[in-house]
Structure 1
Amino acid sequence: MSRCAPVSVVMSAFQEGDSVAETVGSVRSAAVRPREIVVVDDGSTDGGCDRDWPPSVRVLRQDHIGIAAARNLGARAARQPVIVFLDAHCTVDPGWLAPLVAVLERAPDALVGPAVRDSGDPRFVGCGAEIVDPLLTYRWRPAAGGGQEVGLVPGGCLAVVRDRFLAQGGFAPFTGFGLEDVELALRWWRLGRPLLGAPESGIVHRFRNVPPYPADHLAWLQNVLRTALLHLPGPYLRACVLACARFPSFPSAVATVLAEPWVPAHSRLLAAEARTVTAYVDRWAPDAFPAPA
Structure 2
Amino acid sequence: MTCFAPVSVVLSAFEEGDSVAETVVSVQSATVRPREILVVDDGSTDGCCARTWPPWIRVVRQDHVGIAAARNLGARAAQQPVIVFLDAHCTVDPQWLAPLVAMLDREPDALVGPAVCDGEDPRFVGCGAEIVGPLLTYRWRPLTSAGGEVGLIPGGCLAVIRDRFLAQGGFAPFTGYGLEDVELALRWWRLGRPQLGVPDSVVLHRFRRLPPYPVDHQAWLQNVLRTALLHLPGPCLRACVLACSRFPAFPTAVSAVLAEPWVPAHSRLLATEARTVTAYLERWAPSAFGMLSVDPLQCPDPP
TM-score using structure 2 length: 0.95
Deviations 1:204-242 (A, max 9, x none): 000001000001100000000000000001111011000
1:85 pairs with 2:75: no
Partner of 2:252: 252
| Structure 1 residue 121, shift from structure 2 partner | 1.5
Deviations 1:2-52 (A, max 9, x none): 111000000100000100000000000000000000000000010110111
- Compare 273-282 and 172-181 and name the one that shifted more: 273-282
CA RMSD of aligned residues (A): 0.8
In structure 2, list runs of 5 or more residues that go unmatched: 292-303
Deviations 1:62-121 (A, max 9, x none): 000000000000000000000000000000000000000000000000000000000111
**How many residues are matched?**
291
The separation in 1 between residues aligned to 2:147 and 2:199, in whole angstroms, is 7
1:51 pairs with 2:44: no
The separation in 2 between residues aligned to 1:133 and 1:147, in whole angstroms, is 24
SS in 2 for 1:121: coil
Partner of 2:223: 223
Partner of 2:298: none
| Structure 1 residue 290, shift from structure 2 partner | 2.7
Q: How does 1:8-87 map to 2 (within 5 A)?
A: 8-87=8-87
Q: How does 1:213-292 map to 2 (within 5 A)?
A: 213-290=213-290
The separation in 2 between residues aligned to 1:60 and 1:175, in whole angstroms, is 18
SS in 1 for 2:246: coil
Please tell me whether the aligned partners of residues 2 and 33 of structure 1 are also in contact (alpha carbons under 8 angstroms).
yes
Identical-residue share of aligned pairs (%): 81
The separation in 2 between residues aligned to 1:271 and 1:228, in whole angstroms, is 18
Partner of 2:296: none
The residue type equivalent to 1:221 in the other structure is L
Partner of 2:174: 174
The residue type equivalent to 1:40 in the other structure is V
| Structure 1 residue 280, shift from structure 2 partner | 0.6
In structure 1, list runs of 5 or more residues that go unmatched: none
The separation in 1 between residues aligned to 2:290 and 2:8, in whole angstroms, is 41
The separation in 2 between residues aligned to 1:26 and 1:186, in whole angstroms, is 31
The residue type equivalent to 1:53 in the other structure is W
Divergent runs of 4+, >3 A: none
Please tell me whether the aligned partners of residues 146 and 200 of structure 1 are also in contact (alpha carbons under 8 angstroms).
no
